[in-house]
Amino acid sequence: MKRLLTSAQMKFCDERQINGGTPSITLMERAASAVYDVLLRWFDTSRTLVVCGGGNNGCDGLICASLLHRDGKDCRIVSLAPPEKHNSQFKRLLQKCAEEGIEIYNEVRCEGCTAVVDAIFGTGLTREPVGVYAEAI
């Protein structure tokens, strides 16, 4: 695997964009849209599972799930983080997905899935995943 940016460089880029006036939700929407485009181009998205952590990377996944659902794809979400670990943006987006009718689970259910999106951790992870996160991975 060839790294394009280190975690520190990616964090710097994000902070620079946000400090320059780009809302973080816009960055999330851009990331989700890019993943959505790759999924449609290269994968069978007829039954997609989006596995999310409770932070900003999870938000990217929720937005991607919403895009898939609006496109008529059978998309399901797994929210691995307990509700008390969800950031405020994640809570809002998860509620929106539920209102859109997307199925949301608390455990990984990949039977019959044609694609899986990993939206568990972002670029800042500095430790080995444990518990439900390690099991999901």
Assess contact for 100 and 68: CB atoms under 8 A: no
**pLDDT score at 3:** 72
Mean predicted lDDT score pLDDT of the chain: 93
pLDDT band at 1; cut points 50, 70, 90: low
Dihedral through CA 57, CA 65, CA 63, CA 44, nearest 10?
80
Record the tokens describing residue 90, joined without a space. Answer: 């994640």
- pTM score of the predicted model: 0.93
Given a cut of 90, whether residue 34 has pLDDT beyond it is yes
Query: Could you say which DSSP state residue 84 is in?
Result: G
